[in-house]
């Protein structure tokens, strides 16, 4: 059986051959275009959505992004202004990024976001419970939020940089999937360290093991500080190596964020681009 380090080294080798325009375009189609700033306003979110709406005109030969991700109070703003029905509306909920509040409040916030138009909800694993080994409570929060959002997809953020130990990251991955997560995600991007290739290998291994046990495919999203093209290609290669090409689509793999989209466009066009 390959170790986590051996899997990472294999992915790094494949990554060198994946530095191609075709892969850059593929990654572009997997991006959750994100605005999660304290200074976000309705007009700023509308501006972002308008850029998504006009993208296919400005870049007719490149694929559209997968989703627009905003704070829950802006879900209706995206819904009212987004013209491309293939682009999903994602929100961060459950008292993001700390997840430190009452489960009833987290549940209500996520349900309200879906009512306002969200297709996907990203929540943070309750680290206050997980790190105290209160696994039933941590699981209950995920399952009750999943129940509250109906058919909307649930991404559970592990904040892997705070868990640190690979075996515990694996345990958190399994807990999230068993509790109802449709995706597991590395990080909020609001704490340090955020996404790491090492955590991605552990989480993808957990997804693979869970699939072998249950036959259910769970998605993966590395997030937090991933803006350079080479870094994105490495995460793409990790998914390709461990989970296989059937995971390399927006239903099972997402990556952030807006700076990455600009860097990919710059790489593809061979000039500095700041479209988003």
CATH code for position 62: 3.20.20.70
Which domain, by its residues, includes 59?
4-269
The span from the CA of 60 to the CA of 64, in Å, is 9
Any domain includes 38: yes
72 in Cβ contact with 118 (< 8 Å):
yes
Residue 275 domain-assigned (yes or no): no
Q: What is the DSSP string of 78-111?
A: HHHH---TTSEEEEE-SSTTT--S-HHHHHHHHH
Please report, in tens digits, the pLDDT of each residue of the chain (276 residues total): 899 999 999 999 999 999 999 999 999 999 999 999 999 999 999 999 999 999 999 999 999 999 999 999 999 999 999 999 999 999 999 999 999 999 999 999 999 999 999 999 999 999 999 999 999 999 999 999 999 999 999 999 999 999 989 999 999 999 999 999 999 999 999 988 899 999 999 999 999 999 999 999 999 999 998 999 999 999 999 999 999 999 999 999 999 777 999 999 999 999 999 999
- Tokens representing 237 are 């290669």
Let me know: does 187 contact 194? Beta carbons within 8 Å.
Answer: yes
| Domain count for the chain | 1
- Report CA-CA distances (Å) from 261 to 112, 128, 193, 232: 29, 34, 22, 10
Question: Is 197 among the domain residues?
Answer: yes
In a domain, 276, yes or no: no
pLDDT the model gives residue 46: 98
What pLDDT score was predicted for residue 264?
A: 97
Q: Does residue 12 sit in helix, strand or coil?
A: helix
How many other CB atoms are there within 10 angstroms of residue 113's CB atom?
Answer: 28
- Please say whether the beta carbons of 209 and 173 come within 8 A: no
Q: Which residues are catalytic?
A: 122, 185, 221
């Amino acid at each position: 059986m390959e170790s986590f380090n051996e899997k990472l080294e294999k992915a790094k080798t494949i990554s060198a051959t994946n530095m191609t325009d075709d892969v850059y375009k593929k990654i572009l189609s997997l991006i959750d275009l994100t605005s999660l700033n304290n200074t976000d306003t309705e007009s700023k979110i509308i501006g972002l959505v308008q850029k998504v709406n006009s993208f296919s005109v400005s870049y007719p030969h490149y694929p559209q992004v997968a989703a627009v991700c905003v704070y829950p109070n802006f879900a209706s703003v995206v819904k009212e202004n987004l013209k491309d029905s293939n682009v999903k509306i994602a929100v961060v909920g459950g008292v993001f990024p700390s997840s430190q509040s009452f489960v009833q409040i987290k549940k209500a916030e996520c349900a309200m976001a879906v009512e306002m138009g969200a297709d996907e909800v990203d929540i943070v694993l309750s680290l206050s419970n997980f790190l105290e080994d209160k696994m039933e409570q941590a699981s209950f929060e995920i399952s009750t939020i999943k129940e509250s959002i109906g058919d909307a997809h649930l991404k559970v953020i592990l904040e892997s940089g705070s868990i640190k130990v690979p075996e515990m990251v694996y345990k958190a991955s399994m807990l999230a999937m068993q509790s109802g997560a449709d995706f597991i995600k590395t990080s909020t991007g609001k704490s340090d360290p955020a996404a790491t290739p090492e955590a991605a290998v552990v989480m993808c291994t957990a997804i693979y093991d869970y699939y072998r046990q249950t036959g259910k495919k769970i998605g993966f999203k590395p997030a937090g500080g991933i803006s350079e093209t080479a870094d994105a290609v490495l995460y793409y290669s990790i998914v390709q190596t461990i989970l296989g090409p059937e995971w390399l689509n927006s239903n099972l793999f997402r990556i952030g964020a807006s700076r990455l989209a600009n860097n990919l466009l710059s790489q593809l066009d061979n000039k500095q681009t700041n479209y988003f």
